[in-house]
Structure 1
Amino acid sequence: MAAALNPMLHDASSSSSYRCRYHTFLSFRGEDTRKGFTDHLYRALELAGIHTFRDDYEIERGADIAAELNKAINESKVSIIIFSQNYASSRWCLDELVKIMERRKHDDGHIVMPVFYNVDPSHVRNQRGSFAEAFSRHEERFKEEMNKVEEWRRALKDATDLAGMALKDRYESQFIQDIVKEIGNKLDPKVLNVAPYAVGIDDHAQGINMWLEDGSNAVGAAVIYGMGGIGKTTIAKAAYNRNFGRFQGSSFLADIREAAEQPYGFVRLQRKLLSDIQKGKAKKIDNIDEGIIKIKHAVCITKDFLLFSMT
């Protein structure tokens, strides 16, 4: 399979309507979940087009870690807090939690999603079990900073008073998909369905992602081609999910050859395209020529990401 790419593409990343750098911020205890649950959740979020901050991917070597984490929290729309067995034993995690709850206090639009991974939510909320043990150690270690310990306790209670999601007896893969769906609903992006563990999709889509991020202001077109059944549409969906949020308008039209063969098929496709890029405000289209004119007028005033799939 190969991709024929025209290097000329307009850039919508500078649009002032997108003030947040990330959709979600992941707070987690690395020793508990970094290479397992958190990694799988991160991949599933990214594949769904939900751009996510995770410290080991986003912080450059030599950077001030605390400052970068604080900045990332302030630049995210949602904070996902993964409460695991040893979350409270980490001062880094608790400081991060305080910053997240402060952000929520000063910004009603910031969403906090507690996720309980192999821990009883009541143990976290009431600081029992491993959480009680962790705070006992903190009280011993930070005798001169008891205000700090109390701040951690309050942040933990405030976070767990919010509606969250618990693994319980579910399979992790299903739990992850439930989290992704919930976050997607909260953000309301137009995410396309892509199998969460599709092998090699990220690698194939990376070239398209880099092309879309090249900073050019011109219009461009890319073609993914190859024999049937090798995953062209899946790659296109993954690229769409990863990039549509950077544009003012976007549309994914699937199976356009088959759709066009139906009665009034082209007109229906035109209506769908206009409805997508004008966020449901498209006017009535009676014929193909009228649709062409309206589409030209629509795309000349906005920066749009259009993806067409043919079977």
Structure 2
Amino acid sequence: MASTSIQTVPSSFTSAFSKPQPEYDVFLSFRGEDTRYKFTDHLYHALDSKKIITFRDDKELEMGKPISLELLEAIKKSRIAVIIFSENYASSTWCLEELTKIDEYRDRGILTVLPIFYHVEPTDVRHEKNTFAEAFAKHEKRFEENPKKVQKWRAALTNVANLSVKRLKDGEPEAEFIQSIVQWIYLKLEEKFSNDIEDDLVGISSHVEEMISYLDLESTDVHFIGICEKSGMGKTTLARAVFDKILNQFEACSFLENVREESKAHGLKTLQERLLCDIGKRGLRVKDEHKGMQVISDILHNKKVLIVVDDG
């Protein structure tokens, strides 16, 4: 049986970090009926196999329902947005709302965007031809009393479609195309992570290495590391930097933020379901806290896992 060690260390460094760390590496924007169980599913699992944390909305869109706050928050908390332009993408007002928000964060320089043309012609998207023209004609009629909404969608579509893109052509092997996307994202994330460390953190590198040494990653023991310091001194920043650097060495991982506030407001059951979502059990619900502990224990048994519990 693996032994357990508990250590407490001070964070004791000054952070110049001024913006929140993203929770997701990638946000996938797609038209469900076109690609949910085909291209998007294959891409999601290819990213997951590389330990790239990806947000994919698994819910079927209900007609007339506005875009959820969860989706808007996920876009805000992502590093890269991948937009899969498929035949019926523009027919979804939900997709167009996502697109508008993505373009807003891209314009502010806090989100990298990769458009993908999935069996559609780039000119159809950029110049609203064929199904894209048909979709906007319907939107203009439906929202004739609110033309500014359609104008915003149209502007976002044009802006994003004119970026450097990847295109899947008819007859091209889909598996190879997906691997090229994953490789592009992997390299871009490495670049962004390096820039984040260089631009936003002061004197953190040595502390990250020190923390990693306490974890003793080659060991099969269970390790608990506590970071103690006054509020605002960089505990979360240090924990996130360590987490991002070593997560690829684990079979499952989760970074649970603001656990004190979350547990008070919603109870431990909500935190347990967030953890289950992070380790690949998205949508799994637990009956109560005791059952949640049992389910988590069963799933993570004999696995090498990394869990960070942060109380803000």
Q: TM-score, with normalisation over the residues of structure 1? A: 0.56
Q: Residue in 2 aligned with 1:148?
A: 149
Listed one character per residue, the Cα deviations across residues 162-199 of structure 1 (whole Å, up to 9, x for unaligned) are: 0010001321111100100111111117xxxxxxxxxx
Distance 1:53 1:251 in 2: 17
Distance 2:245 2:112 in 1: 23
2:95 to 88, 93, 96: 93
Listed one character per residue, the Cα deviations across residues 15-57 of structure 1 (whole Å, up to 9, x for unaligned) are: 9878110001000000100011100100001111211001128
RMSD: 3.5
- Decide whether the 8 Å contact of 1:44 with 1:176 is kept in 2: yes
| Paired residue secondary structure (2:27) | strand
| Paired residue secondary structure (1:188) | helix
Q: Residue in 1 aligned with 2:111?
A: 110
Report runs of 4+ in structure 1 exceeding 3 Å deviation: 4-11, 14-18, 218-223, 247-252
Letter in 1 for 2:97: D
Distance 1:245 1:39 in 2: 29
Q: Residue in 1 aligned with 2:184?
A: 182
Q: Residue in 2 aligned with 1:265?
A: none
Q: Residue in 2 aligned with 1:300?
A: none
How do 1:10-29 residues align onto structure 2 when only pairs under 5 Å count? 19-29=21-31
| Paired residue secondary structure (2:25) | strand
Q: Residue in 2 aligned with 1:40?
A: 42
Percent identity reads 45
Listed one character per residue, the Cα deviations across residues 52-102 of structure 1 (whole Å, up to 9, x for unaligned) are: 001128xxxxxx962111110110000000000000000000000000001
Unaligned runs of 5+ in 1: 58-63, 190-217, 224-242, 253-304, 306-311
Aligned residues: 198
Q: Residue in 2 aligned with 1:246?
A: 243
Q: TM-score, with normalisation over the residues of structure 2? A: 0.56
Please report how far the alpha carbon of residue 9 of structure 1 lies from its aligned counterpart in structure 2 after TM superposition: 8.3
Listed one character per residue, the Cα deviations across residues 110-132 of structure 1 (whole Å, up to 9, x for unaligned) are: 20000110101111011101000
Distance 2:53 2:43 in 1: 12
Q: Report whether the alignment pairs 1:128 with 2:125.
A: no
Unaligned runs of 5+ in 2: 60-65, 192-213, 221-239, 250-305, 307-312
- Decide whether the 8 Å contact of 1:8 with 1:219 is kept in 2: no
| Paired residue secondary structure (1:143) | coil
- Decide whether the 8 Å contact of 1:23 with 1:52 is kept in 2: yes
Distance 2:248 2:48 in 1: 19
